[in-house]
Amino acid sequence: MSDYQVPATFDEALQNMIDRGQLEGAVLASSDGLPIATVPSAYDAETAAAMVALLQSVSNEAHDQLGMSGVDEVTVVGRDRRRLVCRYLQIDGEELILALMVPANRYYRRISNRAIKEIKAVW
């Protein structure tokens, strides 16, 4: 039998993801870029939320101008191979964005899928 427990808060869900994937930080934001939860708390939530809003705009342009159906993810890769990954999710008609800072050579997709399930459970 598993000792796994559903997180009680969004911060807990984000912290679980960071711990599992050894990620640098994460932000859960509204589709307007307003931060809902940020881990670690010292992480610059306002800057991350601004980046999320900018990438949301890029996602919308890809949809409108290129005819791409619902964008699942937008990733920005730096020269140092670190990535800012924005995953998009809907819960009860609300559009949310999960942004993660991923160090070079780290996997994130499976870990962020699990975090999305946990976020939905907390919702």
For residue range 11-50, list pLDDT tens digits in order: 999 999 999 999 998 999 887 778 888 888 666 666 766 7
Hey, where are the domains in the chain? 10-122
- Per-residue pLDDT at 61: 74
| The pLDDT value given to residue 79 | 96
Instruction: Quote the pLDDT of residue 78.
Output: 92
Q: Which residue has the higher pLDDT, 68 or 24?
A: 24
pLDDT bin (cut points 50, 70, 90) of residue 2 is low
**C-alpha angle 50-28-119 in degrees, rounded to nearest 5:** 165
Fold of 10-122: Beta-Lactamase (3.30.450)
Mean pLDDT to the nearest integer, 47-65:
72
User: In this model, does residue 57 exceed pLDDT 80?
Assistant: no
pLDDT at 1 over 50: no
Q: How far apart are CA 91 and CA 85, in angstroms?
A: 19
